[in-house]
Chain A
Amino acid sequence: MATVIVVTSGKGGVGKTTTSASFAAGLALSGAKTAVIDFDVGLRNLDLIMGCERRVVFDLINVIQGEAKLRQALIRDKRVENLYTLAASQTRDKDALTREGIGAVLEELAEEFEYVVCDSPAGIEKGALLALYYADHAVVVTNPEISSVRDSDRILGVLASRSRRAEQGDTPVKEHLLLTRYDPARVSTGEMLKVGDVEEILAIPLLGVIPESEVVLRCSNLGQPVILEEKSNAAQAYRDAVARFLGQEVEMKFLEQERKGLLRRWFRGAA
């Protein structure tokens, strides 16, 4: 049986798609066959971040409606072995997503894949509910600011009541906090919440802290998951988060403001 991981947040623009792409790539790099599915019908952009937007022939809705076979819709990654993307439809109606349809797709994926990563749309409406329904794990992507924390809190409540595991009285969805766009400089001035503050409110285990980094934007323009960028702090933080997810103990990095010495200023590498 495949492990289903939903990447969710409630709030939009916090880094769910960025995280889905890097997390899926990280799992695939560990040797596990992994599929990443875009649930954001109408606003699809996972395929852009994965750099496969020109190779989308069939999408999730085609598969659900029986217009294409799953095999035809899965797009194999050109850089990372074991990594496949299932795109969302840009043109179809959201209502084409059904719980049964998604259940059938996940069941079929489970025959071949070890991990299925579901990139959730924002909000707590239908699309987000469907993305989290079958989850075994939830990576709750949160930015260090009040409104994002509040929305994450809400989505945690939804996970605890509206997921399949909750409805069937199964063991609950395993929750992981991923704090992204963390900027220690703005935390120290009090503009942003500290890691501890967010942990205290959400009260779930911390999977990782991804620093704010301009490399993220550069990578999405290149159509490449940031985790593949060797020298970036954000990539390192994503690699560490995946390692922790797989059970390794890795200490948290990039929580403190980097002291920029003279040398560092001259030889400033990737942030």
Chain B
Amino acid sequence: MHVVRASEPSPSQPAFRLRGTSLSLVVLELHETAPEAVLPSLERLLSKAPAFLWQAPIILDLASNTPEVGAPEVGAPEVGQTDLARLLPGLRRLKLHPIGVLSGPEGWQTQAAALGLPVMPRGTQRSLPLPSERPQQNQRKGLDLQSQERAAANRTSAEPLETEELSKPTLMIARPVRAGQQIYADGGGDLIVTASVNPGAEIIADGHIHVYGALKGRAIAGARGNREARIFALRLDPELLAIGGYYTMHGDIETAVIGKGVEVSMEDRSFKFRLIGQ
């Protein structure tokens, strides 16, 4: 998806700048739209890995096998206004933030628009041109954010897209993370702690987690579902580890790696522990 964000004002520069960026976001694909059908199982899923998707922005999509989708001519689909309107508060209660819907049947889009949710075009993995501070490009590329086709038509092979990789700021913590404290490196970033993570503390990152000290609390990497995320610790002795929504508890970790320098990764939905720094 695309966001336009103003950069920090500074005396010597204009107050803002428009940039294109591409973020990877979680899509909640609905096979049913009634909150009664969706929320209980979603809540169960989230309670298993509490920090998985915690405070995550999500996009709602009607599953393609839902009959209404792809057959809009049949008439307004049965996405009752009440369904979507009722679903939103439920999702927010689960600490999810619906920020838009993927394009779908007309009724679906109308409901979304009525609720203030933008409708996003499908399959926009590549960035669309956005107005930039360079005037010629503004003129050449146009300002249409709605239509992928129009934007694509504006592109020429000689003209590189003004895309920008998602910046992934690393969060550095140089003090012990103490019982009752929670630290979350969001925005896709990694988390580096150059001290210990104590029992009763929780550290979360959308990316990787590095602990240059003892990891005795809870560590949740790939908090938005990235199973490629890893956890590194100088002394691994955690209460809980989670990667990409899967978790394991202290008692399930091989005792041979406890207290050692360890790299934790996820392979075929199971945790792999590798000694490092031997």
Interface residues of A (CB under 8 A from B): 124, 150-151, 153-154, 156-158, 160-161, 200-203
Contacts and interface: CB of A to CB of B under 8 A. Distances in A.
Interface of B: 175-176, 178-181, 195-196, 198-200, 214, 216
A154 B176 contact: no
Contact of A150 (B181, B195, B196, B200): B200
Contacts of B179: 150-151, 153-154, 157
Contact of A153 (B175, B195, B198): B198
18 contacts: A124-B180, A150-B179, A153-B179, A153-B180, A153-B199, A156-B176, A157-B178, A157-B179, A157-B181, A158-B180, A160-B175, A160-B178, A200-B214, A201-B196, A201-B198, A201-B216, A202-B176, A203-B195
Contact of A203 (B176, B180, B200): B176
Contacts of A158: 180
B180 A157 contact: yes
A154 B196 contact: no
Nearest to B176: A203
B106 to A, nearest CB: 49
A160 B198 CA distance: 15
A143 to B, nearest CB: 16
Contacts of A201: 196, 198-199, 216
Given A153-B178, A154-B178, 5 more contacts: A124-B180, A150-B199, A200-B214, A201-B198, A202-B176
A154 B180 contact: yes
A246 B220 CA distance: 43
B195 A154 contact: no
Contact of B200 (A154, A160, A202): A154
Given A160-B175, A203-B176, A153 B200 contact: yes
Contacts of B181: 157, 161
A143 B195 CA distance: 23
A109 to B, nearest CB: 30
